[in-house]
Amino acid sequence: MRVKTYTSSQIRNVVLVGHGGSGKTTLAEAMLVRAGAINRAGSTMDHDPEEKEKGFSMALGLAQFEWRDHKINLLDSPGFPDFIGEVAAALRVADLAVFVVSAVDGVEVQTELIWRMAASQGVPRAVFVNKLDRERADFDGVVEQLQNRFGAGIAPLQLPIGTESSFHGVADLLSDTAYHYQDGVGSKADMPAELADREHEVHDALVEGIVVADDSLLERYLDGDVPGLDELAHALASGVAAASVFPVVCGSALTAVGVDRLLDLLVDEAPSPLDRGTFPVQAGDLEVEAEPDEKGEPLAFVFKSIADRHVGQLSMLKVLSGQVNPDDHLTNVRTGSDVRLHTLLSTMGGDQSPTGAAPCGDIVAVAKLTDVHTSDTLAPKGKPVRVPRLEMPAATLPVAVKAKTQADEDKLGIALGRLLDEDPSLRLERNEETRQTILWGMGETHVRTAIERMHRKFGVGVDTEDVRIAYRETILGEADAEGKHKKQSGGRGQFGVCFLKVAPMPRGEGFSFVDAVVGGAIPRQFIPAVEKGIVETMAEGGALGFPVVDVRVTCYDGKFHPVDSDEMSFKIAGRTGFREACGRANPVILEPVSRVEITVPAAVQGDALGDLNSRRGRVQGTEAAEDGEQVITALVPTSELLRYAIDLRSLSGGRGRFLFEHDHYEPVPAHLTDKILADAKQDQH
Ligand SMILES: Nc1nc2c(ncn2[C@@H]2O[C@H](COP(=O)(O)OP(=O)(O)OP(=O)(O)O)[C@@H](O)[C@H]2O)c(=O)[nH]1
Ligand SMILES: [Mg+2]
């Protein structure tokens, strides 16, 4: 089989991003149909059974195809906020993010958030205003919104021809050309008379927008010399690559109007991987800039791993420098192990086919790499440069997971590992205090689909349960008790008595044991047994049943029997004495309190503060941030944060985000104690 090879400048890495339901997947498939890569739209990009069933995308889809002698590596990303991790991975490897915006719904929350993510990473951007065939589609309105929100770089390159159900073409402003569509294919046509005046006006505005980005062009323009089409297109491409100009085109993914013009835009105006310039890598402790070099040594980054039903594990690589060939040996920089690549694969949704060498900038899939995970760097032996790991937004919704059966239990660890490799926006935590395994996700849908996927892909049944809070207990007062263990049964008996005094210690000090026994009331060799009994009880649970902290125990007296006393007897005496003393020393439950940093639009700050108040939060400060946002810092009991990810999303219309970490323990208010004790009892049954 002969496989066509491409140079780096013929490669375009493009991701479709935007709010859920704006038409990304439909557009991706329309592009594939138009380019002749598939025959029929409908099942290439959302090929996962879950995606088919739910009708929206949950994971990155990749389709690699040709348009006008260029290789387009097209990534389709999910718009649903729970799957933002997929967008983060795609933005790392894409050289252009095409924002798909519905002409009916306008610029929506997720579009704004992703725009901000892309901007912070300097990713070049363009906009496809979609659904112009629909009722109430408003191209001008969307352009105005784009300009208001994203600034002067927004450059509309087209105007729609016809409206709503009669929408049938696009007018290219740069070339002054109209395209009319028949069955998804555009052909040049006369500029409609009703558009001519408007077209001229917008054309001039566009030319001015482009020439200001280029000093020499601007000078000539001011001298009355209007640059030619090629020069303008060239200047536009530089602006796009520099992420300072954001072209806006339009169409309908459903009727395939404007889709081929979008493909042309990718070839003519989108940067190749070489145009993106240097990228940061870590060489030892140093961060340095590396160059995408077609002739350099190979360097590849794993941006996505997929557990595929047919081929097993698939690793998606972007070749950041050099060329990667089938059967190459590279080193996994994380582990130092040799990695043999075998066959390189080209991807069309859920299908793969063998392909040849991957030049600098290309994206390629490789099956069954041993111990290679998402975010790994592959480099030649002895060249240990490392590409920074993917940075994922914080997963803030916890759910406790538990294997359904023993057979599931045996496979759980491995399955969770593979799940996290496939989706690094999930996080796993083992809480030894509550003996729960916690899966953290971005939202309810995220964790639910992760659990479904564990079942479907790895055959592991998982139940979820409420997350238990790691309560502890301490004492507020001092008290004494006698711990006595006495047993007479047949032969040798058991006997040990200790007198204990317990007293509170400052928070975080843990435990101290004072041996104040005098006159041999307890023989020396048994005193450590008393302490051991106390330490064990502290861990197992004190008077209220929770692990005990911050207590000083003084053992000040005791009794023994020359024959019956032994270590075990004193250990048990220590346990009973300690538990009893604590019960008399005003025991209280301690709860974990987290430090939370919440970012919300200023408009909902009041609501967010009111909500924190109802969660027993104590606000530490508020501060204005960029883009009219406010950052609130607060101390909030951790038990009040378990569903905050869901509540903050609805409270802020999807715009709020937060981070939190454990800060300290403090006593639970008295009115909540009974409920916590009742819940804890329930959990034990
Ligand atoms: N009328 C019309 N409907 C469209 C167009 N593009 C997409 N749709 C419809 O909009 C709905 C959502 O389309 P998708 O392509 O799944 O949207 P998406 O952006 O991939 O959605 P997520 O994967 O959830 O982010 C589907 O019912 C499509 O048929 C269009 O240009 N015109
Ligand atoms: Mg989709």
Say how many Å lie between the CA of residue 23 and the centre of ligand 2: 7
131 lines ligand 1 (CB under 6 A): yes
User: According to DSSP H, which parts of 377-526 are helical?
Assistant: 406-422, 444-458
Confidence band of 217 (pLDDT split at 50, 70, 90): confident
Give 319: exposed, middle or buried? Use CB within 10 Å, 0-12, 13-18, 19+. buried
Cα of 339 from ligand 2 centre, angstroms: 34
Over residues 399-414, mean pLDDT:
93
User: What does the radius of gyration of the chain's CA atoms come to, in whole angstroms?
Assistant: 32
Average pLDDT over residues 429-441: 93
Please state the atom number of ligand 1 nearest to the C-alpha of residue 16: 19
In contact, 107 and 145? CB cutoff 8 Å:
yes
pLDDT value at 214 more than 90: no
**Ligand 1 touching residue 83 (CB < 6 A):** no
Phi, psi of 582 (to 5 degrees): -60, -40
Residue nearest to atom 6 of ligand 1 (CA): 23
Contacts of 140 (CB under 8 A, 6+ apart): none
Query: What is the pLDDT, as a whole number, of residue 1?
Result: 52
Q: Is 102 in the pocket of ligand 1 (CB under 6 A)?
A: no
- Give pLDDT tens digits for 609-647: 999 999 999 999 999 998 889 999 999 999 999 999 999
The rounded Å distance from CA 55 to ligand 2 centre is: 8
C-alpha span between 682 and 675 (Å, rounded): 10
Contact present, 445 and 82 (Cβ < 8 Å): yes
The CA 88 to ligand 1 mean position distance, Å, reads 21
Cβ atoms 597, 572 nearer than 8 A: no
CA 51 to ligand 2 centroid distance, Å: 9
Express as a percent the part of the chain with pLDDT over 90.
82
Q: Which amino acid is at 392?
A: M
61 lines ligand 1 (CB under 6 A): no
For 175-190, what is each residue's pLDDT tens digit? 889 999 998 899 999 8
Which residue minimizes the CA distance to atom 7 of ligand 1? 23
15, 25, 87, 163: residue to mutate for ligand 1 pocket, most atoms within 8 A of CB: 25
Q: How far is residue 159's CA from residue 167's CA, in Å, rounded to a whole number? A: 11
Question: Residues lining ligand 2 (ion), CB within 5 A?
Answer: 24-25, 57
Distance CA 577, CA 366 (A): 64
Work out the angle at residue 530's Cα, subtended by the Cα atoms of residues 576 and 517, and round it to the nearest 5 degrees: 110
Ligand 1 within 6 A of CB of 56: yes
Q: Is 331 in the pocket of ligand 1 (CB under 6 A)?
A: no
Per the structure block, which two tokens stand in for 300?
């590849």
Q: Tokens at residue 427, please?
A: 């996080």
Ligand 2 centroid from CA 542, angstroms:
53
